[in-house]
Each structure stands twice: as C-alpha cells, then as structure tokens.
A and B are shown apart, each in its own frame.
Chain A
Amino acid sequence: MNCRWLSSIVTAAIAAIVMSSALVVAQTAKTDKSGATPGKTAAKSWTPKKTPWGDPDLQGVWNDATSTPLQRPAGKGEVVEDTEASKFEEDLAYDLSRDRRDGGPEVDVNRAYNEHWMDSRRLKITNDRRTSLIVDPADGRLPPAVPLSPERQKQRAERQAAATRFNAGMPNTPQELTLPVRCITRTDSPPYLPTIYNNDFQIFQSPGYVVIAPEMIHSARVIPLDGRPHIGPALKQWLGDTRGHFEGSTLVLETTNFRSDDGTVYQGANPEAYKITERFTRVADDAINYEFTINDPTTWTKPWTAVVPWTKIDPKEQMYEYMCHEDNFDIVHLLTGARAREKNPSLNLQPTKR
C-alpha cells in the first residue's frame, strides 16, 4: 500500500496509544466487582486441527486490533460488566479517534487520525470485556520500574530531547528519528500490540518451521522448531532471534539476541537483558490467544504478562505489501521543514488556541 503519510501516522498512533492510556487512567470510573474470567483461560476445550505433518494448525491471516488498553485504567476492575461495557468502549474509542482541536499542535495532529484511518476492530474492547491486556501483575499494570543506570538515563534523556525536537517540527538528523519513522522496525518487533491500522499477521507453517509475517513492516519472522540453539551471542538483530516449540497445542516462542540500540525493544527496555516469551494458542476456528511475557530485571521489578486476542480475518480480506522506506517522503519533509524553520522562525509551530 502507499506509504506517503504512514511514517508520521505510526508515530502518531504510538503517541495516541500512550496518550489514550494516560487519559483513561486519569478518568475515574465505578469499580467493577465482576469475577468473570479473563480471556487467558477461555475456551480451553477446543481442539485445533493439525497440519498434514502433525503440528497444530495456525495458518491464516489474523488481526490483533482491540481498544482494550495495555494497562488497566484507574478504578476499573478486571472486567467491565455488561451494563458498563458500551460506555467503556465508547470512552476508549473517543480517546483513540475523536477528531478534536483542543490540545497543543502535536496532540491535535495525532487526533486528526480519526475513524477514517482506523481499523474498525481497533475501536472494540476484547470479547471477554477485560479492562487491560496485562493479566499479570493482577492489578493489570506494569510492575514498578527499576531505577535506570546512569548510562540508560542519559540515553533516555537523549531520546526524550529528540522526541521534543520532533514534536516541534525541528529534527536535527534522520538518525535521531524513531525506528518506525525511519522504517527500520514497526509492529514487526515482538510483542505484537494493536495500533491504529495494519494489525494483520499471516502465519505460515511448514515441517519444522513457523513463520509470522507482520503486515508492518514486511519482515517475515522465520522460526525453526527443531530445537537448535540460538545464534551466537555476538550476533544481534533488530528483531532478535526466535526459537519455537509446541507445548500441546500451544506454540511457544522465545526471543533473545536483540541489538543493543536504544529503542530496539519494547518501552525502552534494556535489549541486553530483555527476554520475551510468546504463546499462541488457537482457542477456536477463528481465534488465537496471543500471550506474551516480558522479563527484563534491569527495567521492571518482575516479569509481566499480557494476553491479546487474535481473530481470523475474512479470507476475502487479504494482507498486502506494506512498503515504507521505499517512499519515505516524510523523512525528507520533516528534515527540510526543520531547516526552513531554522531560517525563518515565523514558520515555527505555535500552540493552537483553545
């Protein structure tokens, strides 16, 4: 698909996710006392069909979009009751997509990505009405952060300064832009979490292999299942190195060997210490439970786990090539815009009037 505006959109989407969780957290809502079971344990009894060579069959195009936030909003229970569900969904959809012009420039630009851009599945909460994708810790929140080393504090401050320049339309270099804007990695780096659009994943299988091909960006994650060791410790990759095996009908993936570049792994975790385990369990013909556990003792005080439902998309709805770098016009626009503002400060972004 054409990628003309997409680099900024993804950044916007990521910003929107972060922002919406913050907004939702800030809201207060009636505490939910429902004891309904989260998706993790639902529909255990369904037996998936097997491939001709005997592996559980996960082949197909799947979509992981939902509006349920990663972290539980303050005051919410584990799930929302039926009566409260539609209000919860509306509130989340409002924060994710509502066209508004009452914030600063960058906030409003992010909000310009309204329903027109959005995968409609992105505006629905999970079927089990959970209030967070995180299922462990039990409060649905990320565990407390570990104090950063001075070196990582410095890295984080540099990244923050670059983000501030970006939001002001004043980036200095292409290299200081984020990995999604540079078209190096996007939603292809695990864990897979929903974004504004392009939430599709195609799973291919062959004897001894599983492949997860995320739509954005097109890099296929080809995973050996033959029990071989990871690549050597000196060999690092942007997307890490994954080994898989089946435990019953669950596909278990373990990924290490991430490149040490800051920002490579989720939420600024430490690539050197980061380990992610993903579990894919087909719970119905059209549903996979995608569960992941992240362990990085240098970033969080304990491991944390989230469950994201994947739904099979209509076979008539295809997954198409997502190119990014090839037509990354935005990166030039961003940089030339900054150079123009240096010469003519009257072009600087001004806060929008309320």
Chain B
Amino acid sequence: MGTRFWRVITPLGFALMIAVVWFSSLTGQQARAPRATATAPAAFPAYKAPRLDGHPDLNGIWQAFVTANIDLEDHEAQSGPYPEMLGAYGGWPAGQSIIEGGTIPYKPEALAKKKQNAANRLKVDVSNDRNWHALGDPEMKCYMPGIPRATYMPFPFQIVQGSSSYILMAYEFATATRTIRMDWKQEAPTDTWMGWSRGHWEADTLVVDVTGQREETWFDRAGNYHSDALHVVERFTPMSPYHMMYEATIEDPKVFTRPWKIRFPLYRRMEPNAQLLEYKCVPWTEEMLYGKFKKGAS
C-alpha cells in the first residue's frame, strides 16, 4: 500500500498547498477557512478556464479531499467496523460538515430512518428479492454510489469533454459512469443508480440537473439517505488550473423540510501518469452477500 498511497497523497497534498497559496495570496484571506460554507465561489478572484470547442475545458482527473463519504455532517474519528480484527487499519478520520448550515434538515420521521440506516449499515440480507435493498450501506455492497456521493468518494474520477453533446464522468469506484446530456429536454425514462444528468453552461460553470435516481443509494456511511423524489443540481466551477468548486443543491420533499446545499473543492490529479485504475469490488462482496447460500453453508 505504501508506495501507491504516497503517490496518491503527495500530489493531492501538493495541489492542496497550491490551492491554499492561491487563495491566500489572491484574496488576502487566512487559509483557515473553516466550515465549507464560509466562502462562496464568488469571493475568489475571477478565473477564466481555457476553452475547448467554445466552452470551459473541464477535462482532467479530479478528486475530492473531504471525508464526507463517512458522514456529510461533523464526525469524530472512529475505529470503523470490527476493530478487534482490523485494529487501526479500518479507522475512519474525523471531518467537518460540508453542508451549508452544518446539518441536514430532515423531517422528524426521516431522521429516525437515517438513524436506523446507520444502525444497520453493516447488515445484509438478500434472501428475499423484495427486501434485497432494505439493509446495509450500498457502498459496502459495491453498488454504484449515485449523485452526489460519487463525487466525494475517496477515489478519482475523470471528466471527458469533447465536441459532442455528451460529457462523460467516469468514476474509479465500482467503475461507475454517468453521461451528462447537454441542453437535453427529455426527462429520465426510468430510475437508474447514477441517475439522469442533463447539463448546461452558465458562464464558466457546468450546471448539471440530476433526476431519476434509484431510491436505494445513500449519501454516506452514516445512513444519510433520500427517496425516489431526489433532485440534485450540481455546479462545477473552475477556480484555478488546479482546482474547481463543487456545489450541489439537494431537494427531496419526502425526506427534507427544505433544499440544502453541500460545497467542497475538487483537486486536479497532477501526476504525469495519472489514470483511473480499475476498482471492481464486486468479488469482495460475494461471501458477504451470497456466502450463506453456498454448498454446505447451512
């Protein structure tokens, strides 16, 4: 793990340093900028991204550097599952909320369901098709993460933007992908794991409207969730050659009392040989999901 870990972390750290220097030198702010909510993109000096076919060029391999996949809200450092087996290997770092205002505005009954999800996140029962998705964090089962979770999983993703009316986002985790249809009218024909993404440009910002997501995806390991009414509007805004700001407004009247917003930067992976590597995690879930149906298992 060592070498690859440092190959990943070093450029990320480097990019982070560049970004910090960029902010503080150009804005005079302290790099302390605390809750992700404090600084709106508009507070940064104007940056005009290079153009490709007349549009801002977002091509590249990008990665978030937040711990929101553990919990979108504030969370303490914790051991992770089965510390008696994994020791510090499975540890989950602490992190600050990436939510504007700090917490998710759940309806009371929905908050109870979130807590139930968290309590059941390591449980699995696929013996009945009807209850197939009732238990367990989809990430643990190697299911496609949905939007916005795919953006802040601790894995890189690549934006492939050419001269067609499609932009591809390819994610390393579970080799998930989504196609963003630019200036597209047609509504989602059916619900899917990565949803139905339609994009347009607002100045230098790529705005993506995501509907048609399967209700089974979660936002994080803490059991934060949504219903089939989820509507996400994302904004990708280039801030420097090395980073862009990501914002997502999350709306789901069945679960939340009002729309809410997350915001964090995405950093460009700078290694000259950076590429998405394969992360096909399905084989690692087979014993957990199907082991009890093996010959001689029960």
| Contact surface of A with B, Cβ cutoff 8 Å | 1-2, 51-53, 57, 59-60, 172-175, 182-185, 202, 204-207, 209, 211, 213, 217-220, 222, 224, 228, 231, 235, 237-239, 318-321, 323, 325-327, 329, 331-332, 335-336, 338-339, 342
B278 lies within 8 A of A239 (CB): yes
| Interface flags, B155-184, vs A, CB<8A=1, else 0 | 000101111101010100001111100000
Within 8 A of A (CB), among B258-298: 272-273, 275-278, 280, 282-283, 285-286, 289-291, 293-295, 298
A332 lies within 8 A of B59 (CB): no
B277 lies within 8 A of A237 (CB): yes
Question: What are 10 contact pairs spanning A and B, CB under 8 A?
Answer: A51-B162, A52-B163, A174-B293, A205-B162, A206-B161, A220-B177, A222-B160, A237-B277, A320-B190, A326-B143
Give the distance in Å from the alpha carbon of A53 to the alpha carbon of B193 in the complex: 33
Within 8 A of A (CB), among B116-150: 126-127, 129, 132, 138, 141-144
How many of chain B's residues touch chain A, expressed as a range? Answer: 35 or more
A211 lies within 8 A of B163 (CB): no
B193 lies within 8 A of A321 (CB): yes
Task: Tell me which of B53, B59, B179, B286 contacts A182 (CB under 8 A).
Answer: B286
B293 lies within 8 A of A339 (CB): yes
Q: Decide if B192 is an interface residue (CB 8 Å cutoff).
A: yes
| Contact surface of B with A, Cβ cutoff 8 Å | 52-53, 59, 126-127, 129, 132, 138, 141-144, 158, 160-164, 166, 168, 170, 175-179, 189-190, 192-194, 214, 216, 272-273, 275-278, 280, 282-283, 285-286, 289-291, 293-295, 298
A329 lies within 8 A of B143 (CB): no
Q: What total of A-B pairs shows CB separation below 8 Å?
A: 135
Residue of B nearest to A229 (CB): B273
| Distance in Å: Cβ of A236 to nearest Cβ of chain B | 9
Residue of A nearest to B176 (CB): A218
A202 lies within 8 A of B192 (CB): no
Give the distance in Å from the alpha carbon of A183 to the alpha carbon of B170 in the complex: 18
Which residues of the partner chain A approach B160 to less than 8 Å between Cβ atoms?
204-206, 209, 211, 220, 222
B275 lies within 8 A of A220 (CB): no
Which residues of the partner chain A approach B142 to less than 8 Å between Cβ atoms?
325
Which residues of the partner chain A approach B298 to less than 8 Å between Cβ atoms?
339
Residue of A nearest to B274 (CB): A224
